[in-house]
Amino acid sequence: MHGERIAQGSQFEQEVMQDPEFTFQLGKHLGSLHLQNKSYYGTLEQNKQSLDTFPHKLSRVIAQLGKTRKALQDPAVQKLLPFYVAEADKLNLPKASGLIMLDFWPSQFLAIDNELSACIDVESYVVGPTALELTLIELWLGPLDKFKEGYFSVNRQWPDEIEEAREVYRFFLYLLYGCPEAGLDACIYSSAKFAQGDRVKARLTAPRLRPPGYPGRK
């Protein structure tokens, strides 16, 4: 594959994340990939599991990640862990499952003259809810409106379940990667969100989960 690797932490990476044309291209690329809807989650060749089991599986994985050394040393994580374990188990079944990257970052792009030429992953390319991948992207990408414009140019099947699952997914992603460095609150309650899809116009803002006893939440 041809193109220049986008080095993590480089000036080029920052430019790419904020460039409207590049984010449009990324949206179009992922929109095309997400058209390949699957009826399961897991890996491409093995370990295929029914989407009916996904909420319970996610709940178990969050509980397991909450027992890692890093998580055990984080009081905020331990305070919220029981809440998000329970919320994950109650999620509705994913409506859209497809090829996604669980560690999707700009350093995995190849570019030619500031145009996206390839996305590369050799570790965590799996089949899972497309809303999970989009939840990760909205935490670091700049012009989210241009991304969604590119996505809609090839795929109108936007996964609206991202509105319900966003905070649970963000907690899960934080346990995986500690994203972003600013801390747990900055990850879960970040204002960076894709505009809601056509089918949820009746609700102007997604309801925010409110863990009992959490500071600032009743």
pLDDT number for residue 197? 60
Handedness of CA 180, 27, 32, 149 (dihedral sign): positive
Q: Is the pTM of the predicted complex or chain greater than 0.95? A: no
Residue 94's CB: how many other CB atoms inside 10 A? Answer: 21
Identify whether the C-beta of residue 101 lies closer than 8 Å to the C-beta of residue 121.
yes
**How would DSSP label each residue in 39-82?**
SEEB-SSS--EEGGGHHHHHHHHHHHHTTSHHHHT-HHHHHHHH
pLDDT number for residue 31? 94
Handedness of CA 75, 80, 86, 91 (dihedral sign): negative
pLDDT number for residue 106? 74
What CA–CA distance (Å, rounded) separates 91 from 94? 8
Give me the residues of the chain with pLDDT under 50, please: 199-207, 215-218
**Residues counted in the chain:** 218
Q: Which secondary structure element, helix H or strand E, spans residue 170, and what is its range?
A: helix 162-177
pLDDT number for residue 209? 56
Tokens of 20: 């409207």
Domains and CATH numbers, the chain: 4-42+50-200 (3.90.1200.10)
pLDDT number for residue 6? 74
Please give the backbone phi and psi of residue 99, each rounded to the nearest 5 degrees, phi first: -70, 120
What CA–CA distance (Å, rounded) separates 43 from 191? 32
pLDDT number for residue 165? 96
